[in-house]
Amino acid sequence: MAVPPPFCPRCLISVAGQEACSSCGLTFETCGGLVDTIGTDDRGKKAGEVEDFYSVNPFPGYAAGDTRGTLLDRSRRAHFLTSLDEAIPTDAHVLECGCGTAQLSAFLACAAQDRTVIGVDGCRVSLEHADQFRQRAGIDNLQLVRGDLFKLPVEEQTYQVVISRGVVHHTPDPDEATRQVARRVAPGGVLVLGFYETWGRMVHRARRGLTRVRKEPIRALDPILRKRDLDEEKKRIWIEDQYRHPLEHILPMPHVLRVLESEGFVWLRSIPPAATDGGMFNMTPKPGALGRTLLRSGWMARGLTDPDAGLISLVARRL
Ligand SMILES: C[S@@+](CC[C@H](N)C(=O)[O-])C[C@H]1O[C@@H](n2cnc3c(N)ncnc32)[C@H](O)[C@@H]1O
């Protein structure tokens, strides 16, 4: 399959064979289809450690023999992904911040040929995995970009949909990371922000506490490690990501919501509960104090069976 030419994440014009965009002047290195805006820059100690961690444990990783067809089939069996796909217009410009190996970005691009999807991540190795898949599957409406969340190489307020799942809590300053991601959403656009929520993550924190004593997780207590049909390499990466990560915060949902509101966003919903009828971007009533307590208690209660280990998504719209 021919390598689709790389395009500039700001101007969306081809930058094949160039080291700077002829329109906006953004400088980068290209490698295969990757646009690398970090290069050899010093990213600071913590960001360096996180990149080293994901270089050895690229997340979520592809199964051997994955193709466009298997990705589409698998993604369409995941309720979150189908509702997200249904909610995003088929010609939207979508930005994923912290895409890792970019399954979600690749799915959204494959599911609608007229969408333009940009996946940004700080980890070069994860993006190389993503780009190998992108080339194999011939996905030419997805651009993979190496960039840092705190210096995102895209303009503010330009994307109709911005997604960031499982990322801001792995940065030294989750509030600022949240603001940076949120600022890329265009007026009227939607942000889907997934983060480890304090109450939602409580059961997993206890599970992880036990690991400190035993050194190995108790597989029977973890819904992912209990799976019989998941290969061992994926389980190894899960153990590293969930039990041995070098930088993890937990964030209270009301606080994250306040940060988003201060950036001009309004509440649409949280997930869970699952969005139904293509309505992931429909507004639901914003919970008051009691509603928030009930919601968060529910997240805590599902801890032992939650395959996302307390990863909660807030969906919010910029006014
Ligand atoms: C747990 S993975 C999540 C990947 C993907 N969003 C998913 O849900 O499968 C976290 C990702 O965040 C990226 N990341 C962490 N800090 C970052 C930063 N400061 N800038 C860019 N990416 C970052 C990591 O490289 C890693 O790929």
Is residue 121 in contact with ligand 1, taking CB distance under 6 Å? yes
Whether residue 201 lies inside any domain: the answer is yes
Total structural domains in the chain?
1
The CATH number of residue 102's host domain is 3.40.50.150
Residue 16 in domain: no
Whether residue 7 is contained in a domain is answered as: no
Token duo for residue 267:
């509440």
- Residue 51: the pLDDT is 96
Residue 304 CA to residue 300 CA, distance in Å, equals 9
Helix (H, G, I), strand (E, B) or coil at 78: coil
**pTM, rounded to two decimals:** 0.96
CB-based burial label for 126 (10 Å; 0-12, 13-18, 19+): buried
Note if the bond before 273 is cis, omega within 30 degrees.
Answer: yes
**Which helix (H) or strand (E) is 300 found in, with range?**
helix 289-301
Residue 126 domain-assigned (yes or no): yes
* Cα Rg of the chain, angstroms: 19
2 is a domain residue: no
Low-confidence ranges of the chain (pLDDT < 50): none
**308 lies in some domain:** yes
223 Cβ closer than 6 Å to some ligand 1 atom: no
Whole-angstrom distance, CA of residue 121 vs CA of residue 130: 10
Asked if the structure places residue 67 within a domain, the reply is yes
Q: Of ligand 1's atoms, which has the minimum distance to the CA of residue 51?
A: 25
CB 60 less than 6 A from any atom of ligand 1: yes
Per-residue pLDDT of 2-27, as tens digits, reads 667 799 999 889 998 889 999 999 99
Residue 178 resides in a domain: yes
Report the mean per-residue pLDDT for the chain: 95
pLDDT given at position 17: 86
For the CA of 177, the closest atom of ligand 1 is 19
Cα(245) to ligand 1 centroid in Å equals 12
pLDDT at 20: 93
For residue 60, report the distance from its CA to the centre of ligand 1, in Å.
10
**Is 313's C-beta closer than 6 angstroms to any atom of ligand 1?**
no
Per-position b or e across 215-241, b if 16+ CB within 10 A of its CB: eebeeebbebbeeeeeeeebbebbbbb
The per-residue pLDDT for 1 is 59
- Whole domain around residue 236: which residue ranges? 29-318
Between strands 34-36 and 29-31, the pairing is antiparallel
Cα–Cα distances (Å) from 179 to 192, 232, 257, in that order, read 13, 36, 11
Å from CA of 50 to ligand 1 middle = 9
For residue 163, give the ligand 1 atom closest to its CA: 6
- For residue 166 and ligand 1, the question of a CB distance below 6 A is answered with yes
Q: Which atom of ligand 1 is nearest to the CA of 126?
A: 27
Q: Lay out the sheet containing 29-31: strands in order across.
A: 29-31, 34-36, 142-146, 116-121, 93-97, 159-165, 185-196, 311-318, 265-271
Do residues 312 and 200 make contact, with C-beta atoms less than 8 angstroms apart?
yes
Mutate which of 167, 168, 234, 240 to test ligand 1's pocket (most atoms within 8 Å of Cβ)? 167
pLDDT of residue 214: 81
| Contact present, 132 and 66 (Cβ < 8 Å) | no
pLDDT, position 3? 63
Please report the pLDDT score of residue 32 as a whole number: 85
Return the axis-axis angle of helices 103-111 and 68-76, rounded to nearest 10°: 100
